[in-house]
């Protein structure tokens, strides 16, 4: 890719209309990033340390926590560096890698939400056959499928974006390398890459969201057929945390695409909500709404305190 361009690096201009707020933003985003890493690491530790959580549901939850650690780590460290006064430059290959992994992890995590919805559908609608259907090899196969979809999606986007020639200027009017910020810098016609990018992202997001809606429609019908109010409440509680996580993930995407006219500052804030705040909220949602996770965390905390006191 580098042979097709005269540029060796790009300059990230940061979040639009935030000049002079670098120190404040650095403190805020540093705290959010820390709690994102810490909260998701605790969930991973709770799942790993408790044998009762070694089930398909918590296997997928553990993977979600891994994604919520990796996804913000694609953009946040570089953003924190230039907010602290370090260089805003990012190499050509570094920019391409950032774009690739951003879309790889984002699309794979979106696929994982659909897989988690499928898991809840089987657990509630076919409880007696759940163990037979959600075998370990089936779970692994579903995870491999999510990675394959993510790789195909990200490879398509990066191929059409970086096959273009970039000969200047090199100022990226955004806080990370994303397709809408990179394509205007191309020296050649980028209309095909723009159409492929928008179509690819839209179709994948709509397909995954539609699949989640289909699964939860089936779950809702199954819950309404349950006679016992206590059983209905228990069934709903197992899905509520996942539904809240889905809303946190797809809400920002819907906001961006429903805007009548794009606004750089609004887009950046919504992207930050999606990149940083949602992964942090996921750890809070699953730790506060899930009794098993809370119980495991309390037991883990008690064991740590006891070992320290001894």
Show pLDDT as tens, one digit a residue, over the chain (310 residues): 444 446 788 999 888 888 888 899 999 999 999 999 998 998 898 888 888 888 898 899 899 999 999 999 999 999 999 999 898 999 999 999 999 999 999 999 999 999 999 999 998 888 889 999 999 999 999 999 999 999 999 999 999 999 888 887 888 888 899 888 898 888 888 888 888 888 888 888 889 989 999 998 998 888 888 777 777 777 777 777 778 888 877 777 666 655 556 677 777 888 888 888 888 888 888 776 677 787 887 887 777 667 666 6
Could you tell me if residue 66 is inside a domain? yes
Element (H, E) at 40: helix 22-49
CATH of the domain at 173: 1.20.1070.10
Domain that holds residue 26: 2-303
Could you tell me if residue 202 is inside a domain? yes
Cα diameter, the chain? 68
DSSP state of 85: T
Closest C-alpha among 86, 66, 67 to residue 78: 86
Residue keyed to tokens 């690491």: 41
Query: How open is the CA angle 41-42-46, to the nearest 5 degrees?
Result: 120
Could you tell me if residue 13 is inside a domain? yes
Could you tell me if residue 142 is inside a domain? yes
**Token pair belonging to 189:** 């016609």
The structure's pTM equals 0.88
pLDDT number for residue 146: 96
> DSSP readout, 139-187?
HHHHHHHHHHHHHHHHHHHHHHHHTS---S--EESSSS--HHHHGGG-S
Instruction: Give the integer Cα–Cα distance in Å for 197 and 148.
Output: 18
Closest C-alpha among 284, 261, 257, 260 to residue 271: 257
Ramachandran assignment for 168, one of left (phi > 0), alpha (psi -120 to 50 degrees), beta (any other): left
Query: How open is the CA angle 71-76-82, to the nearest 5 degrees?
Result: 160
**Token pair belonging to 110:** 């979106």
pLDDT number for residue 2: 44
Could you tell me if residue 63 is inside a domain? yes
Could you tell me if residue 308 is inside a domain? no
Could you tell me if residue 309 is inside a domain? no
Instruction: Give the integer Cα–Cα distance in Å for 222 and 239.
Output: 13
Could you tell me if residue 32 is inside a domain? yes
Total tally of structural domains belonging to the chain:
1
Query: How open is the CA angle 234-56-118, to the nearest 5 degrees?
Result: 70
**Token pair belonging to 180:** 């809408």
């Amino acid at each position: 890719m580098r042979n097709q361009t005269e540029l060796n690096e790009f300059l990230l201009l940061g979040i639009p209309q935030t000049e002079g707020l670098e120190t404040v933003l650095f403190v805020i985003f540093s705290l959010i990033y820390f709690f994102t890493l810490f909260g998701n690491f605790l969930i991973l530790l709770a799942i790993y340390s408790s044998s009762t959580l070694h089930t398909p549901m918590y296997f997928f939850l553990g993977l979600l926590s891994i994604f919520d650690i990796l996804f913000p780590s694609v953009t946040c460290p570089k953003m924190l560096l230039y907010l602290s006064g370090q260089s805003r430059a990012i190499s050509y290959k570094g920019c391409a890698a950032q774009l690739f992994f951003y879309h790889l992890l984002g699309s794979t995590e979106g696929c994982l939400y659909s897989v988690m919805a499928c898991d809840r559908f089987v657990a509630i609608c076919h409880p007696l056959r759940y163990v037979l259907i959600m075998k370990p090899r089936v779970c692994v196969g579903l995870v491999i499928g999510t990675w394959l979809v993510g790789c195909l999606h990200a490879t398509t986007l990066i191929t059409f974006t970086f096959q273009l020639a970039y000969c200047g200027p090199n100022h990226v009017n955004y806080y990370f390398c994303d397709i809408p910020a990179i394509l205007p810098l191309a020296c050649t016609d980028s209309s095909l890459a723009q159409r492929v990018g928008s179509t690819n992202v839209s179709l994948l997001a709509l397909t995954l969201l539609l699949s989640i809606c289909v699964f939860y429609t089936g779950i809702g019908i199954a819950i309404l057929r349950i006679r016992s109010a206590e059983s209905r409440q228990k069934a709903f509680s197992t899905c509520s945390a996942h539904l809240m996580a889905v809303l946190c993930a797809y809400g920002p995407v819907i906001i961006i695409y429903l805007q009548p006219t794009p606004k750089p500052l609004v887009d950046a804030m919504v992207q930050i909500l999606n990149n940083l705040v949602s992964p942090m909220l996921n750890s809070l949602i699953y730790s506060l709404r899930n009794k098993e996770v809370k119980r495991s965390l309390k037991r883990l905390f008690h064991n740590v305190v006891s070992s320290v006191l001894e």
